[in-house]
Amino acid sequence: MNPENLSLSERVALLQGSLRETPVVELAAEGIRLHAKLEHANPFGSLKDRPAFWILKSAVESGEVTERTTLIESSSGNFANAMASYCRLLGLEFIPVIDPNIAGSNEAFLQRMCKRVVKVQERDETGGFLKTRLRKVQELCKELEDTFWPNQYGNPKVAEAHYRYTGEEICRVFKQLDYVFVGVSTGGTIAGVSQRLKERFPSVKVIAVDAEGSVIFGGPPKKRHIPGIGASVRAELVDRALIDEVVNVPEVETVRACRELLYQHGLLVGGSSGSCYAAVKRYLPRMRSLSAPPQVLFLCADKGGPYLDTVFNDPWCARLEQ
Ligand SMILES: Cc1ncc(COP(=O)(O)O)c(C=O)c1O
């Protein structure tokens, strides 16, 4: 079968099989049964593959995206990588709008996958780049013909993808689950996962993990350096999440936790995974003692490779502590 001869919807249907179940591994821990779900096993390396595919599939089915559509999205990380990869496989044009904080390896990847990459340079009124990136997306959508903005910050399909895939898979693996720790940025992951898990395990506690300096849950804004977790603006998908508690993790703790995951557990994973692990450790004294050790899960959203120049780089980390 030659994919070139297939229609766009037929090519999308073929790609559905790319979303395979990601592994859950158990880590040694005292007093709890600790599990990590390894989302870097997704086809393009992160948990964002699921919503990227799901948004594309829905938009092709509804006719909002055709062979002639250009997709445009603000992302300096995993969502852009996922969208760029799926669009490339489907023969669609995708323009990622990125900013100077992007990891070098991600930028190089996007440059290879996309004909055009737009990089904003000006900080917005919050001191970050998110609002500038979003304004650039709107500009490009007006300027070009036949465009589609996936809107990873507010598209309910993002939560639906995590409900159907990430949440559903967790339900298949566990008979009982007491705590789940999920890193938050747009809130799409925690929205979908929490909705599905609360149906299956009504007493599960959902812990949102945020970065110190992020404004999502109302803390004071502060410059942050580790991508993937936290935000300078609260996205509307956060309101769909069923959250029991929030743990804010300082970046120095994230770094330590990433290294502990690597050197003690053999997991080379990214910043938000370290934040979730650090949050588990912070929360440990408050986990209720049951007759059996509680079943605890945290999500590892991406792999550690793109963080070698930051979280796993000693001089970079030393500057964080100053
Ligand atoms: C590495 C990583 N972890 C966690 C998240 C948070 O996911 P969400 O945006 O669904 O809240 C993201 C989002 O980009 C991410 O890239």
Per domain, the residue ranges of the chain are 3-42+155-321, 49-148
pTM: 0.96
How many angstroms is it from 67 CA to the middle of ligand 1?
29
CATH number for 49-148: choose from 3.50.50.60, 3.40.50.300, 3.40.50.1100, 3.40.50.1580: 3.40.50.1100
Q: Which fold has domain 3-42+155-321?
A: Rossmann fold (3.40.50)
Instruction: Name the residue of 39, 40, 46 to mutate for ligand 1: max ligand atoms within 8 A of Cβ.
Output: 46
pLDDT, average across residues 34-38? 98
* Sign of the CA dihedral running 100, 153, 309, 44: negative
Is the pLDDT score of 127 beyond 80?
Answer: no
Is the pLDDT score of 151 beyond 80?
Answer: yes
For ligand 1, is residue 186 a contact (CB within 6 Å)? Answer: yes
Give residue 204's Cα distance to chain centre: 21
Ligand 1, atom 15, lies closest to the CA of 228
Residue 311 to residue 304: CA distance in whole angstroms: 9
Average pLDDT of the chain is 94
Q: List strands edge to edge, sheet with 295-300.
A: 24-27, 33-38, 295-300, 179-183, 205-211, 245-249
How many angstroms is it from 187 CA to the middle of ligand 1?
8
For ligand 1, is residue 302 a contact (CB within 6 Å)? Answer: yes
Is the pLDDT score of 4 beyond 70?
Answer: yes
pLDDT digit string, tens, across residues 70-114: 999 998 789 999 999 999 999 999 999 999 888 888 999 999 999
What is residue 219's predicted lDDT score, i.e. its pLDDT?
Answer: 85
Which ligand 1 atom is at minimum distance from the Cα of 270? 1
How many angstroms is it from 164 CA to the middle of ligand 1?
17
CA distance between the termini of the chain: 58
* Token code pair at residue 259: 């290294």
Task: Give the 3-state secondary structure percentages of the chain, helix then strand then coil, rounded to 5.
Answer: 45, 15, 40
Which ligand 1 atom is at minimum distance from the Cα of 162? 10
> Looking up tokens 């209720």, which residue turns up?
288
Is the pLDDT score of 265 beyond 80?
Answer: yes
Instruction: Using alpha carbons only, give the angle 18, 173, 56 rounded to the nearest 5 degrees.
Output: 30
How many angstroms is it from 200 CA to the middle of ligand 1?
23
Residue 36 to residue 11: CA distance in whole angstroms: 32
